[in-house]
Amino acid sequence: MHPPTLLLLGSGELGKEVAISAKRLGCRVVAVDSYDHAPAMQVSDAREVIDMLHAPSLRRAVRRHVMPGEGFIVPEIEAIRTEELLALERRGYSVVPSARAANLTMNRDAIRDLAASRLRLPTARFAYAQSAAELQASITGKKGTGLPAVVKPVMSSSGKGQSDVKCAGDIAAAWDYAVSSMRGDRPRVIAEEFIDFDYEITLLTIRQRPIVAGKRVPEARRTLFVRPIGHRQERGDYQESWMPCPMKPALVRAARRMARTITAEIAGPSGAGLFGVEFFVRGNGVIFSELSPRPHDTGMVTMISQDLSEFDLHVRAILGLPIPPIRYEKAAASAVILSPGPIAGPPDFPGVEKALAAPGVQVRLFGKPSARKYRRMGVALAVGPSAAAARKAATRAASLVRVVPRVTPKAARRAR
Ligand X SMILES: Nc1ncnc2c1ncn2[C@@H]1O[C@H](COP(=O)(O)OP(=O)(O)O)[C@@H](O)[C@H]1O
Whole-number minimum distance, CB 21 to ligand X, in Å?
23
For ligand X, the closer of residues 119 and 319 by Cβ is 119
CB atoms within 10 A of CB 357: 10
Residue 189 pairs in a beta bridge with 129, 153
Q: Which entry of 45, 125, 159, 236 is annotated as an active-site residue?
A: 159
**Is 21 a known active-site residue?**
no
For ligand X, the closer of residues 289 and 339 by Cβ is 289
For ligand X, the closer of residues 152 and 368 by Cβ is 152
Segment near ligand X (CB under 6 A), from 16-24, 113-121, 157-165, 173-181?
157-165
For ligand X, the closer of residues 4 and 161 by Cβ is 161
The three-class DSSP label of residue 31 is: strand
Q: Which entry of 170, 200, 278, 310 is annotated as an active-site residue?
A: 278
Spatial separation of the C-alpha atoms in residues 225 and 269, rounded to whole Å: 19
For ligand X, the closer of residues 152 and 316 by Cβ is 152
Of the candidates 275, 329, 263, the residue with the CA atom closest to the CA atom of residue 299: 275
For ligand X, the closer of residues 13 and 278 by Cβ is 278
CB atoms within 10 A of CB 149: 27
For ligand X, the closer of residues 184 and 320 by Cβ is 184
How many of the chain's residues bind ligand X (CB under 6 A)? 15
Whole-number minimum distance, CB 98 to ligand X, in Å?
20
**Is 278 a known active-site residue?**
yes
Spatial separation of the C-alpha atoms in residues 198 and 150, rounded to whole Å: 17
Site string for ligand X, 106-125 (x = CB under 6 A): ------------------x-
**Is 376 a known active-site residue?**
yes
Spell out the long-range contacts of 51-57 with Cβ–Cβ below 8 A and sequence spacing 24 or more: 52/9, 52/10, 52/77, 52/79, 52/80, 52/81, 53/79, 53/80, 53/81, 54/81, 55/81, 55/83, 55/84
Whole-number minimum distance, CB 203 to ligand X, in Å?
13
Q: Which of 200, 240, 310, 312 binds ligand X (CB under 6 A)?
A: 200
Do the strands 229-234 and 199-207 form a parallel or antiparallel pair, or are they unpaired?
antiparallel
**Tell me, what amino acid is at 9?**
L
H or E element, residue 259: helix 249-267
Spatial separation of the C-alpha atoms in residues 38 and 29, rounded to whole Å: 14
Query: CA gyration radius for the chain?
Result: 21
- Which 344-403 positions form the footprint of ligand X (CB under 6 A)? none
**Is 298 a known active-site residue?**
yes
Interface with ligand X, residue 233, by CB under 6 A: yes
Segment near ligand X (CB under 6 A), from 42-50, 194-202, 305-313, 405-413?
194-202
**Is 290 a known active-site residue?**
yes
**Is 159 a known active-site residue?**
yes
For ligand X, the closer of residues 124 and 361 by Cβ is 124
Distances in Å between the Cα of 399 and the Cα atoms of 2, 39, 357 are 44, 22, 14
Site string for ligand X, 283-322 (x = CB under 6 A): ------xx--------------------------------
Q: Which entry of 109, 113, 134, 290 is annotated as an active-site residue?
A: 290
Q: Is the peptide bond before 97 cis (omega within 30 degrees of 0)?
A: yes
CB atoms within 10 A of CB 237: 16
Spatial separation of the C-alpha atoms in residues 82 and 79, rounded to whole Å: 8
Interface with ligand X, residue 21, by CB under 6 A: no
Of the candidates 27, 104, 268, the residue with the CA atom closest to the CA atom of residue 8: 27
Interface with ligand X, residue 195, by CB under 6 A: yes
Interface with ligand X, residue 236, by CB under 6 A: yes
Interface with ligand X, residue 150, by CB under 6 A: yes
Interface with ligand X, residue 128, by CB under 6 A: no
Segment near ligand X (CB under 6 A), from 176-184, 191-199, 218-226, 264-272?
191-199
Q: Which of 128, 194, 199, 328 binds ligand X (CB under 6 A)?
A: 194
**Tell me, what amino acid is at 209?**
R
Whole-number minimum distance, CB 194 to ligand X, in Å?
5
H or E element, residue 75: strand 72-75
- Please give the positions annotated as active site: 157, 159, 278, 290, 297-298, 376
By CB under 6 A, name the binding residues for ligand X.
124, 150, 157-159, 192-195, 200, 233, 236, 278, 289-290
